[in-house]
Amino acid sequence: MKRLLTSCIAIALASHAFAATAEMRPLFNGKDLTGWKGEGYVVEDGTLVATPEAKVLATENTFSAYVLEFEFKLTPGANNGLGLNYPGEGEGFETGIELQILDNSAKKYQNIPETHSHGSVYSLAPAKNSALKPVGEWNQQRVSVLGSLVLVELNGEMILRANLDDLQKRNPDHAGVKRRSGHIAFLGHGDRVDFRNILIQEIPPSANIEGVKAAGYQPLFDGKSLANWKHTETTQNWYAANGILKHTGEPGDINDLWTAKEYGDFSLVFDWRWSGRGVMKSQPIVQPDGSNKTDADGQPELVEIEELDSGVYLRGSSIAQVNLWNWPIGSGEVYGYRVDPARSPDVRAAVTPKVKADRPIGEWNRTMINLKGDRLTVSLNGRVVIDNAQLPDIPAKGPIGFQHHGQAIDFANVWIKEL
C-alpha cells in the first residue's frame, strides 16, 4: 500500500509539473454550448448557468487523463455535480463517478453522509469539508484525473485524493468506478449554479523517451506542431495540443494526414485513443481465416457496434492500411488485403488479427508496426495481433498516413525507426 501511495503521489506531482508548463484550453467558449450536449443550461454574460430545469450537460468528446479547472458560484442550498468518466447515458453517479458540487452550509444538508459533501466522490469517497467560500462568491476548483487517481483542489486546498482501483475493490458492483475514460458532465439537481472559465489540459500517456531514443527511434510528432507532416494552415481538423495529435472528427478538405517524408522499411510506435463517439451500425463477424461468418442461408452474420474507424496507411498505399477500429475482430487487420478475393487464402488469413487486444473505448492503446520488405507485424498493447503477414505488391517506399474516417481520434508518442 505504501508503494502504491508513493506511486500515486509521483504521478500527481508529474501531472502538476506538466500543468505548469502546458497550455490549458477552453472547454466552454463563453458564448454558447458548442461542444456540449444536454438540457436546462443557458449562457448568460459569459457564464454557464444551470437553471432549475438542468439535468445532464455533457461534453461531446471524451477524455482520459487530464486536468480540469473551473470556477463556480452557488446559490443557497444548491446541489449539482461534476460527472467524470461518464459514458453518455444513465445516472452520472452510477454509470460514471460524480464529484459533488454542494452548498455544505445549507441547514438541510447538516446530517448528510460525509461522502455527499462538496468535492466527494458521491457515495464512495469523502472530501475534506473545508475551503468552500460563502454562497454567492466564486470558488475555483481544479480536478486531476490520471488513470485511477483523482485529485480535487478547492480554492488552493487539496480536499480529495481518491484511487479508483481501491474504490472498485471496495465497491465491486459500482459500474462507474470501473471506467477510466468518458465524457465530462455537469449533473443538475434543480438548483441554480453558475460556472465560468472552464479549462482543460489533456495529458498524453507516458513514454520512455530515453529508451526509444537509445533504441534508435526518432520523433515523428514533436508534440506541439504538425512539423514532419503534410498539412495546410486552412484546416483545423488536425492539430497539436500538449503532446497530443488530435483530429476533431469534423469533415474537411484534408481528411488524412501524411508524413512529408517517404519510408521503406521501418518500425513505428504510437499511442492512440478514440476521443469522440461513433454511431451504431451493423458489421460482419470476421473469422480467423479472414472470411465473414455466414448463417445457414449463406448470408453474413452481423453484430451491432459503435462504429469507430481510422487506420495507418503504409508506404502511401490506401490498400495497405493497418486498421484502428471497434469491429469485433479488433484493431490491426489490413482490410484491403483481407477482403480482396484475388489474394490467396494464406495472405487473407495472415492479415486477420489473431486476438482482439483493444482497450475499452476512450482509453489509450499502444501500437507497434514493423514493416520490412513485404512482411508486416503488428503488436497492440503488448500482444502480437498480426505476425509476419505478407503484403504482396506493396510499394517499396512511400509516406505514412493517419486516416480520418469520421470519428474524433487522438495520437501521441509517435516514434519511428528506419530499418
79 beta partners:
102
**Confidence tier at 5 by pLDDT (50, 70, 90):** very low
Instruction: For residue 272, give the nearest of 354, 349, 331, 199 by alpha carbon.
Output: 331
Q: pTM for this one?
A: 0.87
| Mean pLDDT (the chain, rounded) | 91
Note the pLDDT of residue 236.
Answer: 62
Cell digits of residue 180 = 477510466
Q: Percent of the chain scored above 70 by pLDDT? A: 93
Cell digits of residue 165 = 482501483
- Collapsing DSSP to helix, strand or coil, 200 comes out as strand
Give first-to-last CA distance, the chain, whole Å: 43
**Cβ atoms of 355 and 330 closer than 8 Å:** yes
Cell digits of residue 408 = 474524433
> Which letter does DSSP use for residue 310 in this model?
E
**Confidence tier at 233 by pLDDT (50, 70, 90):** low
Residue type, 320: A
> Which letter does DSSP use for residue 363 in this model?
S
Note the pLDDT of residue 17.
Answer: 43
Note the pLDDT of residue 148.
Answer: 94
Domain covering 209-418: architecture: Sandwich (2.60)
Query: Where, residue-wise, is CATH 2.60.120.560 in the chain?
Result: 2-202, 209-418
> Which letter does DSSP use for residue 344 in this model?
-
Q: Measured between alpha carbons, how far is residue 220 from residues 162, 258, 308, 400, 409 in Å?
A: 36, 11, 24, 10, 17
Q: How far is C-alpha 149 from the chain's CA centre?
A: 16
The pLDDT tens digits for 20-38 are 446 899 999 999 999 999 9
Cell digits of residue 19 = 500543468
Q: Does the pLDDT value for residue 405 go beyond 50?
A: yes
Distance CA(268)–CA(180), nearest Å, equals 26
Q: Does the pLDDT value for residue 15 go beyond 50?
A: no
**Cβ atoms of 388 and 375 closer than 8 Å:** yes
Residues 6+ apart with CB under 8 A from 222: 228, 240
**Confidence tier at 161 by pLDDT (50, 70, 90):** very high
Q: Residue 299 burial by CB count (10 A; 0-12/13-18/19+): exposed, middle or buried?
A: exposed
Summarize the confidence of residues 36-41 as an average pLDDT. 96
**Confidence tier at 209 by pLDDT (50, 70, 90):** confident
Domain covering 2-202: architecture: Sandwich (2.60)
Phi, psi torsion values for 71, nearest 5 degrees: -110, 145
What Rg, from alpha-carbon coordinates, does the chain have? 23
> Which letter does DSSP use for residue 361 in this model?
T
